[in-house]
């Protein structure tokens, strides 16, 4: 039994890692890897026995900007243990090793925990935080300008990757760099959620349906008014939810506590002092 990391190019180990991820969460990182988006910012630390990954905690280097302050954060994710090896302390060993290795090299740690392990992470000094999303007043219009962008072609994927790297995010709590992480979602579960707004030269990741518009993130060359982004979706914006706190202070909205199923935010380190008691939300595209 040994602990290995930085093995993404090892086909056998990567296959075993994906098999455990599929068994644990019903997900796979293979398409993300094959399309070239699995970079060195995402590094699984795995316990391997006889060439098989039996437990894992992944390190994701996630720089975030909060109200203008840059935070170098380590996000822990893909915490999993094969059912045959559970209750043997494997996750604890990996987390303790990672915290010791990186605590002096970052401004803190974050993770999103499953509901069944909410009592586990406080043992390592993590604090649970509520997240909030915004509800502006309805801002629908008769003219729909937002154009859906297909993410099936390599050309459109490359275009969006460029946007993620060059355009400004429109929230107060933004991921900086590492667009590869965002692409994990945009080539898979959220590939039908990308829109372009020509008049604003802005892109939105949005879920549209049933008279509700959920804006998960907005990217623009310059800061834009959120009201204009919302109106660009026409009548679909009858009921509006923002999956982030906007930096545009001209739009009025109410905040509501939001808890995604099986997803609770935990923080540890200096980042807690920076955030204080503010209401915030980390956009879903930044979840590792």
Residues 8 and 126 in one domain: yes
Q: Is 258 exposed, middle or buried (0-12, 13-18, 19+ CB in 10 A)?
A: middle
Residues 108 and 201 in one domain: no
C-beta separation of 41 from 181 below 8 A: yes
Please tell me the pTM assigned to this model.
0.93
What residue spans of the chain are helical by DSSP H? 11-25, 30-34, 90-102, 154-166, 179-186, 226-231, 271-275
For residues 218 and 268, membership in a common domain is answered with no
Of 78, 89, 75, 74, nearest to 123 by C-alpha is 89
pLDDT of residue 175: 96
Transcribe 252-269 into DSSP letters: -EEEEEE--TT-EEEEES
The range of the structural domain enclosing residue 184 comes to: 134-257
pLDDT at 284: 96
Same domain, 9 and 54: yes
Structure tokens at 254: 């109410």
- Does residue 161 share a domain with residue 19? no
Same domain, 63 and 174: no
What's 151's domain CATH number? 3.40.630
Question: Which pLDDT score, from 0 to 100, does residue 237 have?
Answer: 85
The answer to whether residues 106 and 204 belong to one domain is: no
CATH number, position 69? 3.40.630.30
Asked if residue 64 and residue 111 are part of one domain, the reply reads yes
Classified as helix, coil or strand, 271 is helix
Q: Extract the residue ranges of the chain whose pLDDT is less than 50.
A: none
Q: Which residues contact 104 (CB under 8 A, 6 or more apart)?
A: none
Pairing of strands 69-81, 108-113: parallel
Is the domain of 249 the same as that of 279?
A: no
Whole-number Å distance between alpha carbons of 56 and 45: 6
Tell me, what's the pLDDT at 141?
83
Q: What is the pLDDT of residue 234?
A: 93
As for how many domains the chain has, the answer is 2
Judging by DSSP bridges, how do beta strands 264-268 and 253-258 pair with one another? Answer: unpaired
User: 26 and 169 in one domain?
Assistant: no
Q: Do both 237 and 162 map to the same domain?
A: yes
Q: What is the pLDDT of residues 215-225, one digit of tens each?
A: 999 999 999 99
Location of structure tokens 């975030």: 64
d(CA 9, CA 263): 30
CA distance 217 to 171: 8
Query: 14: which residues sit within 8 A by CB, 6+ positions away?
Result: 7, 8, 29, 30, 33
Q: What is the pLDDT of residues 63-110, one digit of tens each?
A: 999 998 999 999 999 999 999 999 999 999 999 999 999 999 999 999
97 and 194 assigned to the same domain: no
pLDDT score for 161: 97
Helices and strands, number each (H, E), in the chain: 7, 16
240 strand-pairing partners: 213
């Amino acid at each position: 039994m040994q602990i290995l990391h930085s093995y993404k190019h090892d086909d056998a180990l990567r296959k075993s890692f994906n098999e455990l991820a599929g068994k644990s969460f019903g997900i796979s990182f293979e398409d993300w890897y094959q399309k070239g988006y699995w970079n060195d910012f995402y590094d699984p630390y795995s316990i391997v026995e006889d060439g098989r990954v039996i437990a894992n905690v992944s390190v994701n280097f996630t720089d975030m900007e909060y109200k203008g302050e840059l935070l170098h954060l380590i996000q822990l994710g893909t915490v999993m243990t094969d059912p045959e090896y559970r209750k043997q302390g494997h996750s604890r060993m990996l987390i303790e090793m990672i915290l010791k290795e990186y605590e002096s090299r970052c401004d803190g740690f974050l993770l999103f925990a499953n509901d069944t392990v909410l009592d586990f992470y406080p043992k390592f000094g993590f604090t649970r935080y509520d997240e909030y999303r915004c509800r502006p007043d309805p801002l629908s219009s008769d003219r729909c300008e937002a154009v859906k962008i297909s993410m099936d072609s390599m050309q459109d994927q490359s275009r969006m990757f460029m946007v993620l790297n060059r355009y400004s995010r429109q929230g107060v709590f933004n991921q900086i760099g590492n667009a590869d992480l965002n692409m994990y979602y945009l080539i898979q579960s959220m590939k039908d959620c990308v829109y372009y707004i020509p008049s604003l030269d802005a892109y939105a990741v949005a879920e549209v349906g049933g008279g509700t518009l959920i804006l998960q993130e907005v990217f623009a060359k310059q800061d834009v008014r959120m009201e204009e982004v919302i109106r660009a979706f026409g009548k679909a914006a009858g009921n509006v939810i923002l999956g982030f706190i906007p930096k545009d202070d001209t739009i009025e909205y109410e905040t509501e506590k939001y808890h995604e199923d099986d997803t609770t935010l935990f923080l540890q380190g200096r980042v807690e002092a920076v955030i204080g008691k503010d209401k915030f939300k980390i956009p879903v595209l930044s979840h590792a």
